[in-house]
Chain A
Amino acid sequence: MANKFLHAIYDDDDKLLDAVKFLKKEGVYIEDVFTPFPVHGLDKALGLEPTRISIAGFIYGCIGFAFAIFMMNYIMIVDWPQNIGGKPSFSFIENMPAFVPIMFELTVFFSAHLMVITFYLRSRLWPFKEAENPIPETTDDKFLVQIPVSDNEKELKSKVKKTDIFKIDIVENKDE
């Protein structure tokens, strides 16, 4: 793993987007980009794969739906059928209309919570997690492109300087 990085810092989202497109065309490897807000089109410019988290959300929703059916069928029909208010609960299909609200709620419950948990785990977000943005300004108004440096420092610098740059930093990571 590279332990020397070039930090190209921009002060505008449009400048960043142009720079990323330019650097990609020049064949520069960009490890990461840190921005204070979602810059639209950045994921495409960086060539990031589309996220599959909504597919996961759909699957979680299906699990919730199936769980609701299983739970209510077991509790109301199998384990202890009762005649409530003249409406006996001896068959799932006849009792089903009364189960619709909870089927829906549990679908949403499972889908929303498991999807958010998946997001937190995949993006490594949890309490007591240390933040990893290299400079604190990237949550305010600066946009940082992180490029690993091996022995091509000069070449990289000259390429980065061609973009509408705010500041260039060379950072060495000592503990890695």
Chain B
Amino acid sequence: MASHYEAPIRKPLVTGNKTYHQISVDVAKPIEGKANKQWWIVFSISLVLFMWGVGCMIYTISTGIGVWGLNKTVGWAWDITNFVWWIGIGHAGTLISAVLLLFRQKWRMGINRSAEAMTIFSVMQAGLFPLIHMGRPWLAYWVLPIPNQFGSLWVNFNSPLLWDVFAISTYLTVSLVFWWTGLLPDFAMIRDRAVKPFQKKIYSLVSFGWSGRAKDWQRFEEISLVLAGLATPLVLSVHTIVSFDFATSVIPGWHTTIFPPYFVAGAIFSGFAMVNTLLIVMRKVCNLEDYITLQHIELMNIVIMITGSIVGCAYITELFIAWYSGVEYEQYAFLNRATGPYWWAYWAMMTCNVFSPQLMWFKKLRTSIIFSFIISIVVNIGMWFERFVIIVTSLHRDYLPSSWTMFSPSFVDIGIFIGTIGFFFVLFLLYARTFPVIAQAEVKTILKSSGDNYKKMRDKNGK
């Protein structure tokens, strides 16, 4: 037991006197059991929303982008807002699985699988928006640098939009293989427990014949570490490049060097909020309270508080620099944000993103599950408004006052956004029923150091 020592001050991460076998049973339970009524209700609602979104997408593509609320001044609105919002949400998954792995944070084990699933599903939602905005999505392959019959007409590698194509496709595919490689031992566990032949067949297929040899585990651990090392700068680069979409332009309000770090902090902020939203519900529904403990929720709340403060700091820096720059256009852009016709969006953003996470300084509030859930929703609303404020308020006051206008979304804009939320939940609910939602092999490695039963045993023996 001495080799599994952990300081007694660290709170247990696995509670309920678990054994290795009990962990397998608990993780396999939601998969082997039947879906309850609530699952079907939520799934049906999500599916309906998704279908409504699909309808709106078909309408957009068959009629044209004119069905959106865009006008000649505000040529970029909900589509890019939603794109950045979804990409941002995705960042927490990689942060939990990669950055926390490099820092050897054991609390990542209980939540990394679902956080990574969330990453992949939300990046898929994000990818839909540029695809639809192309108008002719069947020509999407034109963004790839492939030889063609148009007289060697290549893509423009100076464009941040093309950098986005590379960043997001790298991000999506690398996250996917990272996730799947981690899933192999857990799929194998489900496969070896399965009694129904069909289930056994499916899980044999997806577990790639994982057998758990000593050599395989050695490579597995090395691969996880190196992938984490690659994914960490990758995740930072992705939102940096997303911020370049704005920062490399010359629009007042967009043309700021603070964008990359500010966007990355905002992305982690919103992503952790979404992880909290999903896991607070999932731990209850799937009876995983012993693995996703209050300690996990508290730690995530602390991350939300810190990244929220960074974001708040960035907002204030932006205002200060606008004033300090002495550039009238820049000053007007920021004054207009806070006091112009979109003041309500600006102050909604400020309240949700800067004020609300500060409440997490109180231990009583950050250890309250219902409060954490409410804040996580508030933060995601705030982060949506942040992107809306940056994008729409910077555009709606054009250089010529005769072009000044407002933006109002059409039902299609709203429908597509709601559709992606539905699609996201459809994927996540299917995942929660068919995938091992806890990285059980990894949790087993920390059981002896962080399980409450082993901790108690060590306290008693005095070592």
Contact = CB atoms under 8 A, between A and B. Distances in A.
B76 interface: no
Given A108-B174, A112-B177, A119-B181, A102 B157 contact: yes
Contact of B157 (A54, A98, A141): A98
A99 B217 contact: no
B207 A131 contact: yes
B189 interface: yes
Please report whether the interface of chain B is mostly helix, strand, loop or mixed according to DSSP: helix
A106 interface: yes
Given A37-B185, A113-B177, A116-B227, A89 B158 contact: yes
B208 interface: yes
Contacts of B225: 54
B193 A116 contact: no
A9 to B, nearest CB: 13
Contacts of A42: 214, 217
Contacts of A127: 205-206, 208
A6 interface: no
Contact of A104 (B145, B214, B233): B233
A38 B445 contact: yes
Interface residues of A, number: 67
Interface stretch (B165-173, B290-298, B303-311, B408-416): B165-173
Interface of B: 1, 3, 19-21, 24, 145, 152-158, 160, 162-163, 166-167, 170, 173-174, 177-178, 181, 184-185, 188-189, 191-193, 204-223, 225-227, 230-231, 233-234, 237, 241, 244, 441-442, 444-445, 448
15 contacts: A33-B213, A35-B212, A37-B444, A54-B226, A75-B145, A79-B152, A105-B237, A111-B230, A112-B231, A119-B220, A129-B209, A131-B210, A132-B211, A132-B213, A139-B191
Given A113-B174, A130-B204, 8 more contacts: A35-B214, A36-B20, A43-B215, A80-B152, A111-B230, A115-B226, A131-B209, A132-B209
| The 9 A-B residue pairs with the shortest CB-CB distance in the complex, in nearest-first order | A129-B209, A136-B192, A141-B20, A125-B208, A38-B217, A141-B21, A133-B211, A37-B441, A101-B163
Interface of A: 13-14, 32-43, 46, 48, 50-51, 53-54, 57, 61, 71-72, 75-76, 79-80, 84-85, 87, 89, 95, 98-99, 101-102, 104-106, 108-109, 111-113, 115-116, 119-120, 122-133, 136-141
